[in-house]
Structure 1
Amino acid sequence: MSSTIQSVKGIVALVTGGASGLGRGVVDRLIRQGAKGVVALDLKFPDSSSSVDNVINVTGSVTSEEDVARALVEVEKHFGRLDVAVSCAGIGVAKRAYDFRRNISHPLEDFRRVIEVNLVGTFNVARLAVGLIGRNEPVGTLRGTLIHTASVAAFDGQIGQCAYSASKGGVAGMTLPLARDLASQGIRVMTIAPGLFDTPLLGSLPDTVRKNLASTIPCPSRLGNVDEYAHLVQSIIENPMLNGEVIRLDGALRMQP
């Protein structure tokens, strides 16, 4: 492995939200590109998604220290080290701060839950994963990479997205300080802010709604493919000068209110 261009081949990764959507796209691409192994952490895996030799499925929550620690034990037990942690686990709610038609405030518990999973969960994975990544012998000066998932909602939050936008804005906001915290150990930190992607969440919408959403994306005027997200994950791993930054992956989309 060169000290200037890193390689996905032979790496070991932890991917949260790895059962479906963006996370599963990352798992599949890393394995196709020659990763030594991936541990996928998620709340639930499809019955058809059994662990294979180089992909280990671990059921658990990113908000639980015990569950994340258990996933890292599996990483070390099966593969001996950790090079990359990719955080894709996330949830969302769509509620106004106050519903004036029904005279109901946004439930505080819903706001807390979104922050807990999307922001606290991302930090929980980061703070625990770097303990294992930091044990690696440096290649040049680098030991590994954290890649987080924000959203264009961090910047263009829509009506009803107070909780989601706040959580993703937090993920974006901690990217640079985390990169600075970990620089002395040769651990890079990057965040991807995807736009509208063809994930199971959007897959549950009617075709007319999906087409309308796709038409709002300037170019290419379609929903993103999960492998395009995963491709950017690969590019971040391979390019060592990418650090401390948030990359929008949205086809020039700017969300309207």
Structure 2
Amino acid sequence: MKIADRTFIVSGGASGLGLATAKDLHSHGAYVSILDMDADAGEALIKELGSRAAFFATDVSETESIAAAVIDTVEWARRTGKELGGVLAAAGVGNPGKVDQIIDKHNEPLSLSSIDFVLNINLRGTLDLIRQALPHMVAVTPLEPDNERGVLLLVSSSAAFDGQPGQVAYAASKGAIASLTLPLARDLARYGIRAVTIAPSLFESKMTSMLGEKAKKSLERVMEFPVRAGKPEEFARLVREAIENPMLNGTVIRLDGAMRMPSKM
């Protein structure tokens, strides 16, 4: 799949991994549709990127909000003449530390509202975005030589494989993303649409910036190489490879420098 002159939807595109990827795709000639709740950051970003970028305020936990953003993106792509090439579902939430333990020291279970909050954004929001984008992706002109129409890029986490205490809901959401990757690719094979999931470990972000010094030192002790958090630009580089390499399909790629999350901080 070529990047230049194709339109890519990036949810969570105004910050973190989504922001780095939106900028990287744009620098390689893509048209980027940025979906995010932060309108100020989104508007500032499109001013920076110019006419090949559009911003649509979107709450991925609300299906009507996603529907409006997808329709607006399709209309924008129609005006520019640049067909959809893919979706990066990067919008996500998670609490650092032991905030969301399944039962606390007072013998109180984790609230269902806390579980729903994480699942609705990380899992339901991802599925809702791709299911609403797919009818429009199926309709695009396939590209030679493989008659490819596009690629779906999902974001899991190392927590899907070695989640820490307090990450039950988060790990469940990210584990589900990893698990649905292959059946999604199989569902879409006849349309020439691929599905690839990236599972990053500790990356520089607003969420990880909230970690205390003790937690950071604990995580550094289980890092192999390099001994540092990943950079958003390194995530974006892998997204670009996943878009351009047609043999990447139905797979989950760990992007973690051989790091395995510890059971205790």
State the SS of the aligned residue for 1:46. helix
Q: CA deviation at 1:76?
A: 2.0
> Aligned residue for 2:142?
138
The partner residue of 2:249 within 223, 243, 257 is 243
Cα distance change of structure 1 residues 160 and 204 upon mapping to structure 2, 3 Å threshold: closer
TM-score (norm 1): 0.92
Q: Is the 8 A contact 1:38 1:56 kept in 2?
A: yes
Q: What is the Cα-based RMSD across aligned positions, in Å?
A: 1.6
Q: Which residue of 2 aligns with 1:213?
A: 219
What is the CA distance between 1:209 and its match in structure 2?
4.3
Secondary structure of 1:86's counterpart equals: strand
1:212 positional shift: 4.4
| Further displaced range: 206-215 or 111-120 | 206-215
Show the counterpart of 2:118: 114
Q: What are the ranges of 5 or more consecutive residues in structure 2 without an aligned counterpart? A: none
Matches of 2:8 and 2:34, distance apart in 1: 8
The equivalent residue for 1:21 is 16
Structure 1 stretches lacking a partner, 5+ long: 1-5
In structure 2, relative to structure 1, the CA distance for the partners of 1:59 and 1:255 (3 Å cut) is: same
* Whole-Å separation in 2 of the counterparts to 1:20 and 1:182: 29
Contact 2:94 2:207 in 1 (8 A): no
- Give secondary structure in 2 for the equivalent of 1:146: strand
Match of 1:33 among 19, 28, 36: 28
Matched, 1:91 2:97: no
TM-superposition CA deviations, 1:29-77 (whole Å, max 9, x none) = 0011111x11111111335725331111111111222211222222222
**Partner amino acid, structure 2, of 1:85:** V
1:212-256 CA distance string (max 9 Å, x none): 434432111111000110100000000001100000000001111
Aligned with residue 179 of structure 1, among 181, 185, 190: 185
In the aligned structure 2, how far is the partner of 1:50 from the partner of 1:226?
16
CA contact (8 A) 1:150 1:168 kept: yes
Q: Partner residue of 2:55?
A: 57
SS in structure 1 at match of 2:236: helix
- Change in 2 beyond 3 A, CA 1:250/1:184: same
TM-score by length of 2: 0.89
**Contact 2:219/2:261 (CA < 8 Å) preserved in 1?**
no
CA contact (8 A) 2:66 2:129 kept: yes
Q: 2:228 matched to 1:230?
A: no
Residue of structure 1 equivalent to 2:68: 70
Residue 7 (structure 2) pairs with residue 12 (structure 1)? yes
Which residue of the partner structure matches residue 3 of structure 1?
none
Cα deviation, residue 113, structure 1: 1.4
Counterpart AA for 1:197: F
Task: Note the C-alpha offset of 1:122.
Answer: 0.6
Please say if residues 3 and 85 of structure 2, whose CA atoms lie closer than 8 Å, have aligned partners that are also in contact. Answer: no
Cα contact 1:196–1:214 (8 A) shared by 2: no
Question: What residue identity is the alignment partner of 2:254?
Answer: R
Letter in 1 for 2:39: F
- The alpha carbon displacement at 1:211 in A equals 4.9
Deviation at 1:210, TM superposition (A): 3.6
